[in-house]
Amino acid sequence: MNTSPGFFSFRTALAALCLLGAVSLARAEITAIVAVEPTARKAAHTILRSAMESGLAKAAAQNAVVTTSDDLADVMRATRSAGYDIFIGPAQVAASALQRGYELVGSTHKSEQYLLVGTPQVTAVGAMKERRIYLPQQDSLYTYMARGMLNEAGLSFKDLKAVQHEKFPQAGLTAITLGSTDATVVRADEWAEWLAAHPGGAHVLATSQPVPGGFTVVVKKDLPAEVRARLAQWFGSASLQAGLAAVALRPEAKEYQRVAELGLFTPSSLPGVRRVTAKEAQQLQGQGAVIVDTRTEKEFKAKRIKGALWAAYVEKSLKDVAFNASQDDFSALAKLPQAGPGQPVIFACNGAECWKSYKAAKVAAAKGYKTVYWLRGGLPEWDADGLPTEGG
């Protein structure tokens, strides 16, 4: 056996190279998530995760990991932080990702319209004031459509008597039948089926613009072009073997843009709080202001504004200017080591469609903080301006 110093040096170097190679292989993987609307669970059950992982791995020539989730709020957070290489989900998931470095592969079903329907006593959308509405979870496409149609009539969820959030959209029609709600939102095909069995039980108050149907697939633009091409080809036909309908349709970009804007964005201003740009926030930080990141701990650790402090805003209230702060948890504010009522603070999160920093700024002002700023553009604006970040 060779025991010379040179042999040991060579063997050590070889072991190090093997270890580095193993690490590189471990990291060389494509990640995808299948986001499921509660109403589409039956369709999701047909998707074979192992077959999809195998198909994507073959198409991308590297290992693939596929996860599924019906927690749309969590999936939407992942689109804002570019948490996966591929998103497979309803239109609002794709719409969010398309604004953050992803490109459209296509959708599985034709575009469809959503209807705001109400009891015979509700004569128009404007008559919904002080009425009740039944909706799925907040980040559901149904809820986006409802918010948009109410906004067009000059109403907000805050103008309603009650907003009931449940997981099953079709149950809203049952709630109308039972008299436990005044309105709900359904797809046009669901409405046609229900109306045939319940003539005169409700009527259409408003109809949305067409919205991409089924699952939409988007991929990261920074993947190699040849990999994106092979993935698109696989989704176009071979995905059938994994239980996903062929991604053969390509809706117009404006359809996704409309979805992204439907009640999703925070207001452009917040009374009592000064809105600042990323560059203004950096200047204020240099003058002693504390930037407070209100996102999740996972997002904060992955990438953050350099020097920012973490204070998660745990959000359960409506994404609305009239949100109920008592439903949320922002106890982290009191634990910040460098921030107090006399300290200038700047709240930030994941951009204009993230409500956490908006709510945090409003809560802090209500708690007596004297100088409160709101960086509406959040980390995306900061990053786009080339300002320093850390983490990862």
- For the beta sheet containing 162-165, the strands, ordered from the edge strand earlier in sequence to the opposite edge, are 162-165, 132-135, 183-187, 114-118, 203-207
- The band of 155, judged by pLDDT with boundaries at 50, 70 and 90, is confident
Mean pLDDT, residues 386-391 taken together = 96
Between residues 279 and 11, the one the model is more confident about: 279
The CATH superfamily holding the domain 5-110+213-255 is: Periplasmic binding protein-like II (3.40.190.10)
What is the per-residue pLDDT for 339?
Answer: 73
What mean pLDDT value characterizes the chain? 88
Q: Which residues pair with 220 in a beta bridge?
A: 102
Under CATH, what is the fold of the domain 114-207? D-Maltodextrin-Binding Protein; domain 2 (3.40.190)
Nearest to 47 by CA among 77, 103, 89, 92: 89
Of the listed ranges 120-134, 294-308, 317-331, 351-365, the one predicted with least confidence: 317-331
What is the per-residue pLDDT for 21?
Answer: 46
Helices (H), 237-308: 253-261, 278-286, 297-302
Q: Would you tell me how many other CB atoms lie within 10 Å of the CB of residue 18?
A: 10
What is the per-residue pLDDT for 52?
Answer: 94
Mean pLDDT, residues 263-273 taken together = 78
Give yes or no for residue 169 having a pLDDT over 80. Answer: no
Tens of pLDDT, residue by residue over 28-47, are 799 999 998 765 655 556 78
The DSSP element (H or E) to which 203 belongs, if any, is strand 203-207
Mean pLDDT, residues 20-30 taken together = 55
CATH architecture of 274-390: 3-Layer(aba) Sandwich (3.40)
Tens of pLDDT, residue by residue over 289-338, are 999 999 999 999 999 999 999 999 999 887 877 788 999 999 999 988 87
Domains 114-207 and 274-390 fall in the same CATH topology: no
Write down the domain spans for the chain. Answer: 5-110+213-255, 114-207, 274-390
Contacts of residues 25-30 at CB distance under 8 Å and 24 or more positions apart, as own/partner, are 25/63, 28/62, 28/63, 29/62, 29/63, 29/64, 29/65, 30/56, 30/57, 30/60, 30/62, 30/63, 30/64, 30/65, 30/85, 30/86, 30/227, 30/231
**Residue 192: CB partners within 8 Å, gap ≥ 6?**
none
